[in-house]
Structure 1
Amino acid sequence: MEKIYVSKVADLRKLKNLTQRQLALLVGVDTSTIRNWEKDRDGTKTFVKIAKLCKVLDCSPKDLFGIQDILGNET
């Protein structure tokens, strides 16, 4: 089976010059959650399921969840 999810959280976090703690505070999760996401552990199973769902439905997570930015505008 092809791997459809690879954690890029650490790479993207570092590009923004954020620590795990800073990112956790901004996202509203515990630092251990960020650590698990970066290590492809635990909660990443949810990401895999979302990615598979999007693949089957031929849509993006934005389409699936109607994600909006913090200002309320669609992104």
Structure 2
Amino acid sequence: MENDIANKIKQLRASRGLTLEQIANIVGVGKSTVRKWETSDIKNMRCDKIDKLAYALGVSPTYLMGWEESDGSNSFIS
């Protein structure tokens, strides 16, 4: 996981006054896993965990992960 995503997770959690344990309980992981996300010790995250983490932090998965919204102009289906 990139450092900017890790920083975003940490900043969002802190700004919402949530503890590592609270986020862990919402997402369904251990507190140590959330800490690893915040320190870039985990390089990837399952899609279902991204969705739950984004929900817990009150943002979209797209925003959380820094993905660009697609307008469909690069679609492979014609």
TM-score (norm 1): 0.51
Distance across 2 between alignment mates of 1:5 and 1:13 = 15
- Misfit runs of 4+, over 4 Å: none
Unpaired runs of 5+ residues, structure 2, are 46-64, 71-78
Alignment of 1:49-64 (within 5 A): 59=70
SS across alignment from 1:46? coil
Distance across 2 between alignment mates of 1:38 and 1:46 = 12
Match of 1:12 in 2: 12
Distance across 2 between alignment mates of 1:34 and 1:27 = 9
Residue 41 (structure 2) pairs with residue 41 (structure 1): yes
Q: How many residues are paired up?
A: 47
1:16 deviates by 1.1
Q: Percent identity?
A: 34
Match of 1:28 in 2: 28
Query: For each residue in 1:11-68, what CA deviation from the matched residue of structure 2 results, as whole angstroms up to 9, or x when unmatched?
Result: 00011110000110011110000000000112xx215xxx6xx67xx85xxxxxxxxx
Which structure has more relative contact order (CA 8 Å, sep 6+)? It is 2
Distance across 2 between alignment mates of 1:5 and 1:35 = 13
Unpaired runs of 5+ residues, structure 1, are 60-75
